[in-house]
Amino acid sequence: MNVLKIEHVDFSYDDEKVVNDVSLSFRKGDFAAFVGPNGSGKSTLIKMITGNLKPDAGEIKVFDQSVDKVKDWTKIGYISQEVRDFNQSFPATVREIIASNLYGKMGLIKVMTSSLESEILKALKLVDMENFINRKIGNLSGGQQQRVFIARMMVNDPELILLDEPLVGVDIKAQDDFYQIIGDINHNLGKTVIMVSHDVNLISMQANKIVCFEEGKAYPHKSDDFSYDHYIEGLRDTSIRILPEHGH
Ligand SMILES: Nc1ncnc2c1ncn2[C@@H]1O[C@H](COP(=O)(O)OP(=O)(O)OP(=O)(O)O)[C@@H](O)[C@H]1O
């Protein structure tokens, strides 16, 4: 079964077509990298997968169901670019940040039961942050906040994980930790991961599929077929296609 199938999708902002006849599919356990220059349509496609934007044409299916019909959004985990703009003085604790993703399970009066508390602890253990549960999120380092946001996403046990440039502004050590955690979530828990990144060299070592975006088109490659050097050459001369397709 395809976890995600994108078929002939178009999207325009006003008159500018920014996603142009994109078709892609991803299976359970894939780790896909979305790479490409600024403005090539990566985030717009992610926003259509999360239902925040509607395609002008084509169809997006998650777990074999049209995205319009998805009722249980907890199966899709999403960390957006906006995480890095997080307000440092925000007063919430780590527990509250994670609980905010469990509101659907809390019932009308928003009571934190012991089973929800143990789900929060389990999610924090996954990112090695269980000792930080009572800390204020604003007092944590960027890398620690990043891990809390992974825990917040994982508390609902999503099957499809979408990460839109989550590593902007975090240091090398935190990037390594992030890849380690997401790699474990992908390998050990079998979750499907799609991650937008500008660090093509680093992500191409993690992903099994690399999707190169260029002017609204998307060209998928298996990581074995992907050449980082070709990719960089392509970026130097944007008039040529980044890479030839390999029969996809
Ligand atoms: N809300 C909007 N209104 C109008 N145009 C937009 C809007 N959001 C994005 N665009 C335009 O759509 C195009 C694709 O943007 P998108 O954010 O999808 O690209 P991207 O590949 O994710 O870029 P980046 O790597 O910079 O995040 C760009 O030309 C951008 O300026």
112 CA → ligand 1 middle, Å: 39
* Whether residue 241 has pLDDT greater than 50: no
Structure tokens at 156: 């609902």
Pocket test for ligand 1, best of 9, 10, 12, 38 (most atoms within 8 A of CB): 38
Token pair for residue 187? 């390998």
Out of 135-139, 227-231, 235-239, give the one with best mean pLDDT: 135-139
Q: Region 155-184: what's the mean pLDDT?
A: 90
pLDDT at 248: 42
Distance CA 71, CA 88 (A): 33
For residue 107, the model assigns a pLDDT of 57
Report the share of the chain in percent with pLDDT over 70: 84
Helix 142-154, helix 114-126: angle, nearest 10: 130
**Per-residue DSSP letter, 78:** E
The separation between CA 189 and the C-alpha centre of its own chain, rounded to angstroms, equals 16
User: Which of 101, 1, 3 has its CA nearest to residue 49?
Assistant: 3
Confidence of residue 106 (pLDDT cuts 50, 70, 90): low
Please choose from 14, 15, 42 the residue to mutate so as to test ligand 1's pocket, defined by most ligand atoms within 8 A of CB: 42
Looking from the CA of residue 14, the nearest atom of ligand 1 is 4
Atom of ligand 1 nearest to the CA of 165: 27
- pLDDT confidence of 240, banded at 50, 70, 90? very low
Average confidence (pLDDT) over 72-86: 77
Residues within 6 Å of ligand 1 by CB = 13, 18, 36, 38-44, 213
Probe residue for ligand 1, chosen from 40, 54, 80, 200 as the CB with the greatest number of ligand atoms within 8 Å: 40
pLDDT at 75 over 60: yes
Name the band, by pLDDT with cuts 50, 70 and 90, for residue 14: very high
Report whether pLDDT(245) > 80. no
**CA of residue 198 to ligand 1 center, whole Å:** 15
Cβ-proximal residues to 89 (8 Å cutoff; 6+ apart), any chain:
138
Q: Is 246 a residue whose pLDDT tops 50?
A: no
pLDDT at 56 over 50: yes
Predicted pLDDT of residue 239: 46
> Ligand 1: which atom is nearest the Cα of residue 81?
27
The answer to whether residues 27 and 3 touch, using CB atoms and an 8 Å cutoff, is yes
The region of weakest confidence among 19-33, 112-126, 145-159, 219-233 is: 219-233
Q: Which helix (DSSP H) or strand (DSSP E) does residue 137 occupy? A: none
ipTM exceeding 0.90, yes/no: yes
Spatial distance between the Cα atoms of 33 and 168, rounded to a whole number of angstroms = 15
Confidence of residue 216 (pLDDT cuts 50, 70, 90): very high
Query: If you take atom 15 of ligand 1, which residue's CA is the nearest one?
Result: 39
